[in-house]
Structure 1
Amino acid sequence: MPGRSTMSLASPLSTASPSGGKCARAVRGLAWAGALLLTACALPPSLVSPPEPPEQLTAAAPAARAVLAPTGVLRVGVYAGSPLSLLEQPGDPSRNAGLAHDLGRVMAHWLGVPFELVRFDRLPDLMLAMGQGEVDFTVTWTSDLYGGDVNYSLPLLDLEQGYLAGPDTRLRAAPDLNTLASRQGGVKIGVLRGTGAQAPLARRHPQIEIVQLGSYTEASTRLAARQIEAFAASKSVLYPMAERLGDGARVLDGRWGLETVAIAIPKGRQAGMSYLSRFVLSVRREGYLQAAVRRADLRGTVEPAIR
């Protein structure tokens, strides 16, 4: 498939370092926000040595393995540049981060199978491959666009959806966009094509043109050239974009929605959903999710109610 590559580990991942258990106990019971701010007791910089599974998941692993990793390898789908998926450190793969990357390693270790990283250029390509059974696991926001091809786990977390205004902007908060549009014509907001954001934004901003863009790079280019007033997306990607743009670019106060982030697996593997639910509850409770969030510098997170 175009835009796809793989990287495998030949054997299941090694056991956790002694500090991992201490950190998990320290994180346990803390409020979500506090857990995200912990640094002194973070898990090791790399999750190459993930924690050992709870006893109940160890007992359930053989049956779950046959469903969730039917080829005997957990094929984890990622696309580079997103803290939800994969953030690469050139020259030092052990420091790669991203929720799909880190939690995929933990899942592979708990199932007792090798980990294979399957890379894609774009999320739609990844989800297409998952629908065809070529990928076993990823982390992404839940969307009806892909509901026919995948099953989603219990929520991992929620992310605020907001607006990034370009360099030297005078805008401060989300309502300022409609105020600006009422005073002058031609105001445009960019959205990423294929995310489903266009319809809700069009309802919220009836006087503003919603422009579909092909990539985050294009969004940054359009903002820098002042061809769009703002770019609407998850705040998890907007904050890093603002830092790269500089010159007064800012994430506006307020939000236009929340997106739920979950694990996705191919449709038809319902027999593995019970194990997947217990996996999500475990990584949330023991602090492994929060550690992955910190490593990826994922911002704009909100603790979800378990649904």
Structure 2
Amino acid sequence: MNIDSATVTAFAPTGTLRASINLGNPILANRDPQSGEPTGVSVDLARAFAQRLGVPLELVVFDAAGKSVEAVSDERADFGFFAVDPKRGETIAFTAPYVLIEGFYLVRADSPIRANADVDQPHNRVAVGNGSAYDLFLSRELKAAQIVRAPTSPTVVQTFLEQTLEVAAGVKQQLEADAAKIGGLRLLDERFMVIRQAIGVPRSRGIMAAQVLREFVEDMKQNGFVTEALERHRIVGASVAPLE
């Protein structure tokens, strides 16, 4: 890919490419237990993109998706990794997704809720991660149930238990891990959404910047980079999105 100097400047006006990294989605980013440094699929992609532009990389790390999105929208970061959503798309130009993950509901083992259709009832309260993709989605889709927002996605189950809520919503792998540690909980049998994880750049950076980022994502899917990153970080349950 031949990237001209104007596009490089559009991406990195400070001379350093600032990547917004959300540690609230442990499938895509986490901290290395030894070094404490951010690691994961999105970090690998950020480094590869900085290398392609030929500029140094700075990781701007957040504990929740909403904060990560705000950093890119406010141009405190130059690009970021989060799920595609129409509301976010007002200020951010998204690539096609590079990874697909699933949103599921979690309930107590003895809950009368057996299927997704049982969730949207006036007496149910649903814990979500504040500003997450599934928060935005369920805020549009649920008409009767009440949404209760936990500070971050990793604290959803804690909020669900502490406030004795009826349902927790989140990324399947996160909920499965919490359920295995705590016990007495179960996931419903079907996903309520497919979460399309993509990369976004502020719309103010221009059409060419958005196009370059889109082409980068398609290259990384096609050449096996995303598949290898998922395997390297031992991510189970996420799939590489189809080429677009």
Shorter chain as denominator, the TM-score bin is 0.7 to 0.9
Q: Specify the alignment match of 2:213 in structure 1.
A: 276
SS of the residue 1:144 aligns to: coil
Once the two structures are superposed, the pairs formed by residues 41-80 of structure 1 within 5 Å of their partners are: 57=1, 59-60=2-3, 62-80=5-23
Determine the structure 2 residue equivalent to 1:196: 136
Is this contact kept in 2: 1:85–1:140, CA < 8 A?
A: no
- What do the CA deviations read for 1:198-246 (whole angstroms, capped 9, x no partner)? 334524xx4x443333333542223444712321122243233333x33
**How has the CA–CA distance of structure 1 residues 296 and 127 changed in structure 2, closer, same or farther, with 3 Å as cutoff?**
same
8 Å CA contact 1:78, 1:85 repeated in 2 = no
Question: What's the TM-score, normalizing by structure 1?
Answer: 0.67
Query: If you compute each CA radius of gyration, which structure gives the higher value, 1 or 2?
Result: 1
User: Which residue is 2:225 aligned to?
Assistant: 288
Cα separation, 1, equivalents of 2:41 and 2:129:
20
Q: Relative to 1, partners in 2 of residues 1:226 and 1:128: Cα closer, same or farther, differing over 3 Å?
A: closer
CA apart distance, 1:268:
1.9
**Structure 1 CA distance, aligned partners of 2:112 and 2:215?**
41
Q: Kindly provide the amino acid, as one letter, of the partner of residue 115 in structure 2.
A: P
Aligned to 2:147: 210
1:239/1:299 contact within 8 Å kept:
no
Q: 1:73 to 1:227 in 2, by over 3 A?
A: same
More strand by share: 2
Tell me how far apart the structure 2 counterparts of residues 148 and 180 of structure 1 sit (CA, whole Å). Answer: 28
- Aligned CA RMSD, in angstroms, stands at 3.0
Cα distance change, pair 199–123 in 1 and its aligned pair in 2 (3 A): closer
The farther-off stretch of 290-299 and 132-141 is 290-299
Q: Does the Cα contact within 8 Å between 2:153 and 2:170 map onto a contact in 1? A: no
**Overall identity of the aligned pairs, in %:** 24
Which stretches of structure 1, 4 residues or more, deviate above 6 A after TM superposition?
Answer: none
Kept after mapping to 1: 8 A contact 2:128/2:169: yes
Is contact 1:174-1:255 (8 Å) kept?
Answer: no
Q: What amino acid is aligned across from residue 256 of structure 1 in structure 2?
A: F
The runs of 5 or more residues in structure 2 that have no matched partner are: none
Alignment TM-score, normalising by the size of structure 2: 0.82
Equivalent in 86, 106, 126 of residue 68 of structure 2: 126
| Aligned CA distance change for structure 1 residues 231 and 76 (closer, same or farther; 3 Å) | same
- Say whether the 8 Å CA contact 2:81–2:197 is kept in structure 1: yes
- 1:44 aligns with none
Alignment length (residue pairs)? 240
- Residues of 2 paired with 1:260 and 1:288: CA distance? 18
Pair 1:83-2:26 in alignment: yes
